[in-house]
């Protein structure tokens, strides 16, 4: 015979409501902590009927572990009886012996006949497993990210070594030639000695700036970037481009936008890309009849709001190779192909892109784009 506080409640809809709950519910006496009643969900999860549950104690229906002892169970229920509510994780043991980890909330409820503690609980074993899997996945992701960052730094250092080998050799070789020429003129009192030594100093300073910039790039790429005008970078490079062009009698036309093209970049590295593309165009035109030699360096705003730089020549046209930027291609007799590969990596790491195409009516155009920056930020 079932004669509990629940049975004597005046609300006939209360038991129907409790039986419909998907949450498991156990009612305990607030003083003795004995089980008074259980809803259908609790009976199904634990495998006992209400009458079978009533005489059970904590050791009969809890996992055999210190944290689920009768003493701690009573302490938890007592806290709810005194303070109104208490929550915990509790591992029940079903009639079949299955251990069920639950999230349990004990709430003190004052009924007309007596005070009870209503325990609501639900199976969270699957959720815990998902959380553990998620935690492991996050830890693996963290380790993978660390490995990728490590590889990226190694790759960046490889780029630095490649850049040093390719880029520093040019200004140092030029400086050597200027100095040797100056030394040959010293005995004759030639007034061009000062000009040669001045240009040697310029080239050596350029080499120093390349080395300093690349070290900063590998160590702190974001910190070394700054807001600048792409046109200003091209103007800074114009002296060296024209110097190379004069050696080969190649006219170079600069057509820069009147409006600024603000970009956030590492000036020296993007400048190296500009010079590399322009030097390649000049070297290409050096082998053509003098009347046909022409190179243009142009900047403009792209249709997508990007900053665009184009270098055009009237040579034999773009190479057919698909792997022009991977360090394999070169059209120069003693070239290594490293310059284009380095240019590709620098532009890509600044969030831009670089490509080669046909110039009309003849020749090649090398173009790179960089995201426009917000000058106010």
Question: How does pLDDT run across 306-347, given as a tens digit for each residue?
Answer: 999 999 999 998 876 556 776 444 455 444 345 788 888 889
Alpha-carbon span 277 to 347, nearest angstrom: 12
Q: Which residues pair with 109 in a beta bridge?
A: 116
- Please check whether residue 363 is in contact with residue 312, taking contact to mean a CB–CB distance below 8 angstroms: yes
Q: What pLDDT, on a 0 to 100 scale, did the predictor assign at position 371? A: 94
Spans of the chain below 50 pLDDT: 1-5, 7-10, 221-223, 327-330, 333-337
First to last CA, the chain: 77
Name the one residue in this structure whose structure tokens are 């519910």. 25
Question: Where in 192-294 does DSSP place strands (E)?
Answer: 226-229, 252-255, 262-265
pTM: 0.46
Q: What pLDDT, on a 0 to 100 scale, did the predictor assign at position 155? A: 57
């Amino acid at each position: 015979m079932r004669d509990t506080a629940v049975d004597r409640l005046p609300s006939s809809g209360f038991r129907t409501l409790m039986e419909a709950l998907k949450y498991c519910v156990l009612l305990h006496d607030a003083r003795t902590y004995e089980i008074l009643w259980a809803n259908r969900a609790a009976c199904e999860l634990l495998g006992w009927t209400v009458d079978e549950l009533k005489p059970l104690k904590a050791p009969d229906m809890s996992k055999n572990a210190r944290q689920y002892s009768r003493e701690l169970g009573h302490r938890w229920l007592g806290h709810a009886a005194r303070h109104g509510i208490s929550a915990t994780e509790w591992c029940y043991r079903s009639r079949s012996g299955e251990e069920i980890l639950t999230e349990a909330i004990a709430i003190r409820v004052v009924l007309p006949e007596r005070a009870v503690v209503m325990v609501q609980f639900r199976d969270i074993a699957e959720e815990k497993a998902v959380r553990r899997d998620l935690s492991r996945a996050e830890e693996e992701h963290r380790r993978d990210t660390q490995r990728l960052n490590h590889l990226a730094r190694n790759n960046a250092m490889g780029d630095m070594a490649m850049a040093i080998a390719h880029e520093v050799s040019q200004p140092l070789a030029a400086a050597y030639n200027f100095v040797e020429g100056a030394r040959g003129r010293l005995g004759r009192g030639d007034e061009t000695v000062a000009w040669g030594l001045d240009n040697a100093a310029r080239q050596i300073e350029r080499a120093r700036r390349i080395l300093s910039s690349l070290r900063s790039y590998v160590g702190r790429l974001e910190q070394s970037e700054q807001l600048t005008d792409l046109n200003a970078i091209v103007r800074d490079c114009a002296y060296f481009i024209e110097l190379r062009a004069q050696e080969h009698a190649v006219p170079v036309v600069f057509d820069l936008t009147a409006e600024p093209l603000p970009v956030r970049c590492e000036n020296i590295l993007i400048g190296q890309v500009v010079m590399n593309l322009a030097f390649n165009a000049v070297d290409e035109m050096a082998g053509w009849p003098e009347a046909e030699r022409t190179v243009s360096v142009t900047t403009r705003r792209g249709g997508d709001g990007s900053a665009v730089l184009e270098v055009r020549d009237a040579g034999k046209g773009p190479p057919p190779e698909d792997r022009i930027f991977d360090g394999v291609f070169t059209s120069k007799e003693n070239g290594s192909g490293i310059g284009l590969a380095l240019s590709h990596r620098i532009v890509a790491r600044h969030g831009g892109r670089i490509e080669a195409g046909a110039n009309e009516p003849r020749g090649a155009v090398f173009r790179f784009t960089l995201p426009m920056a917000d000058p106010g930020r």
